[in-house]
Amino acid sequence: MDFTVAQIAKMIDHSILRPEFTAEDVRKGCAIAAKYEVASVCVRPCDVPLAVQLLRASSVEVGTVIGFPHGDTHTAIKVAETELAIYQGATEIDMVLNVGWLRSGHIDAVEREIVAVIEAAKGAPVKVILENAYLTNEQKLAACWAAERAGAAFVKSSTGFAPTGATIDDLALMRSAVSAKVRVKASGGVRSLDQLVAMAAVGVTRFGSSATEAILEDLARRTRIELAHLRAA
């Protein structure tokens, strides 16, 4: 394995987004994030203050979701959500674009909304969620181009709440659509180390997953086995 546990950890946004999660579930999720020093947690908007408090002493960023999971709230609401999240200490923003507008061909409106959220984020990186399950390849490309023109830091495959999530084909298409200054995030069904490594091979550099501990412990186990084989050779 070419990656270390620390390297993979810094590619993961640990997802704590399920609607039924309690405050204790959020605390447990943040403890996992801090233990492995992942890139960030991605929490529900109502959990931003708690996550900021819990992770203050760590290097883990606190991210949240905007217009989640359907993307169809009014632009003004998405802007207000973003402003409040930043005020409460969020440092990364994952926004769902307006899927209906995109499918209707209203690309200018999609782009304007992304710009509005980016401005409200005040320099925090914004990840634009396409929700690929509902899009044609042409629509995925159009969304990626609009996100880059708007100034997004990432394009992201999925919310994890649609019928399907991240696929290698979609991620490769997204990577081909944007320049090197825009990164690609895979989310939705990223549950194993092998999946993550395969996605990294097509240019993905950030992963949203709730299976963080299992992925990183699997890598640690494989690394120990490799080291043992080397010592025995």
Q: Which residues are catalytic?
A: 94, 156, 185
Element of type H or E holding 34:
helix 23-36
CB atoms closer than 10 angstroms to residue 177: 19
CA 98, CA 1: separation in Å to the nearest integer? 39
CA 118, CA 124: separation in Å to the nearest integer? 8
Q: Give the closest residue to 54 by CA, choosing from 30, 21, 37.
A: 30
Q: Give the closest residue to 67 by CA, choosing from 117, 32, 3.
A: 117
Q: Give the closest residue to 14 by CA, choosing from 4, 29, 25.
A: 29
Q: List alpha helices for 88-192, DSSP H.
A: 99-103, 107-120, 137-150, 168-177
CA 150, CA 147: separation in Å to the nearest integer? 5
